[in-house]
């Protein structure tokens, strides 16, 4: 009976392990296959996109779609605009939110609690509700269709989420660490930048990655508050028709989509460890 019981247990464990691997494989396929199909469509000649039977790898791969985007759509300028706006948003927004989160976590007063509640409440307001008055305001203050205006709008869109996440992390840092630094003669800025912020690295890396993806995929803000300054997320719906094509240029759409996806994939792959550290640190009470 003992041998039979051990055999059944090993069989059970083997089935559980096999089920986990099958589930992981199916999940990975559902996630990665659309990404693979976008890439394949971007290097497939337009005349071969809809042929049957389907080719899961093109017979004549080409980079003509990318060349067309650079020559006729101004791809490089759109990439430059995206880098400027998203980069400034991440740097300025992270610094401001880190300091605000410290204040919300460490200081207690009715006014501070109301301010925090007001910031979090803005997450519940859809963008279309404030679009018209904000559009008129941006025009009156001469910030419409400017880098400064777009950066301010992007920063305002990531502040509520960033403050909410970083405040919880700051609350988990023992106050005794700052008190020990104060006894050693550290000033308030030194305690903030040399004690608190280094401990927030996993959280900061996590919110930076999430905000990077959010900003890169932001479609409404650059479309509504800008005419001349175009970013990648807007350019994907403004692609020109080629030659005698009267339908959607799916090869160009796929190429532009892959250009938007690629930096996200690279960014997440590089900072994957920081994401996991930030998630695990946020789930453990000090």
- Evaluate the CA torsion angle 180, 181, 186, 188 in order and state its sign: negative
Q: What is the pLDDT of residue 90?
A: 92
Question: 18 lies in a domain?
Answer: yes
Q: What is the pLDDT of residue 286?
A: 39
Looking up tokens 């959607």, which residue turns up? 248
Question: 51 lies in a domain?
Answer: no
Q: What is the pLDDT of residue 278?
A: 57
**Over its length of 286 residues, how does the chain's per-residue pLDDT go in tens digits?**
445 667 777 787 888 888 889 999 999 899 889 888 888 888 888 777 777 777 778 878 888 888 888 888 888 888 899 999 999 999 999 999 998 998 898 888 888 889 899 998 888 888 888 888 999 999 999 999 899 999 999 999 999 999 988 888 888 888 888 888 888 888 888 888 888 888 888 888 888 888 988 898 888 888 889 888 888 888 777 777 665 555 677 888 888 888 888 888 887 777 777 666 655 554 444 3
Overall domain count for the chain: 2
Same domain, 35 and 73: no
Q: What is the pLDDT of residue 4?
A: 65
Question: 210 lies in a domain?
Answer: yes
Which residue range is the domain that position 233 belongs to? Answer: 64-282
Same domain, 119 and 23: no
Phi, psi of 200 (to 5 degrees): -95, 5
Question: 56 lies in a domain?
Answer: no
Same domain, 7 and 101: no
Same domain, 132 and 12: no
Other CB atoms within 10 Å distance of the CB of residue 250:
19
Same domain, 10 and 105: no
Rounded to 10 deg, the angle between the 127-140 and 147-171 helix axes is 130
Q: Do the beta carbons of residue 258 and residue 39 sit within 8 Å?
A: yes
Q: Do the beta carbons of residue 98 and residue 197 sit within 8 Å?
A: yes
Same domain, 127 and 247: yes
Same domain, 70 and 31: no
Q: What is the pLDDT of residue 159?
A: 92
- Evaluate the CA torsion angle 74, 79, 80, 84 in order and state its sign: positive
Same domain, 38 and 71: no
Question: 55 lies in a domain?
Answer: no
Q: What is the pLDDT of residue 276?
A: 61
Same domain, 151 and 88: yes
Question: 114 lies in a domain?
Answer: yes
Same domain, 151 and 248: yes
Phi, psi of 23 (to 5 degrees): -65, -45
Q: What is the pLDDT of residue 246?
A: 56
Cβ-based neighbours of 151, under 8 Å, separated by 6 or more: 85, 88, 89, 92
Same domain, 32 and 127: no
Q: What is the pLDDT of residue 2?
A: 47
CATH number, position 161: 1.10.3720.10
């Amino acid at each position: 009976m003992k041998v039979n019981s051990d055999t059944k247990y090993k069989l059970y464990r083997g089935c559980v392990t096999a089920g986990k691997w099958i589930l992981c494989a199916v999940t990975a396929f559902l996630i990665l296959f659309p990404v693979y199909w976008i890439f394949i469509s971007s290097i497939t000649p337009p005349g071969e996109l809809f042929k049957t039977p389907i080719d899961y790898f093109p017979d004549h791969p080409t980079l003509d779609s990318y060349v067309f985007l650079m020559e006729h759509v101004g791809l490089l300028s759109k990439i430059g605009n995206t880098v400027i706006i998203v980069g400034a948003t991440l740097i300025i927004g992270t610094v401001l939110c880190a300091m605000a989160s410290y204040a919300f976590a460490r200081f207690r007063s009715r006014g501070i609690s109301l301010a925090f509640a007001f910031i979090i409440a803005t997450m519940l307001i859809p963008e279309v509700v404030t679009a018209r008055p904000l559009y008129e305001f941006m025009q009156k203050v001469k910030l419409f269709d400017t880098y400064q205006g777009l950066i301010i709008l992007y920063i305002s869109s990531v502040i509520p989420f960033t403050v909410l996440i970083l405040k919880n992390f700051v609350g988990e840092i023992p106050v005794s660490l700052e008190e020990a630094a104060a006894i050693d003669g550290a000033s308030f800025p030194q305690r903030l930048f040399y004690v608190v912020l280094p401990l927030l690295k996993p959280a900061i890396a996590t919110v930076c990655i999430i905000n990077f993806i959010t900003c890169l995929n932001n479609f409404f803000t650059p479309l509504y508050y800008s005419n001349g300054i175009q970013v990648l997320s807007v350019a994907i719906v403004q692609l020109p028709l080629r030659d005698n094509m009267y339908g959607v240029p799916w090869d160009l759409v796929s190429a532009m989509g892959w250009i938007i996806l690629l930096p996200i994939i690279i960014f997440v792959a590089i900072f994957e460890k920081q994401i996991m550290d930030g998630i695990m640190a946020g789930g453990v009470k000090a």
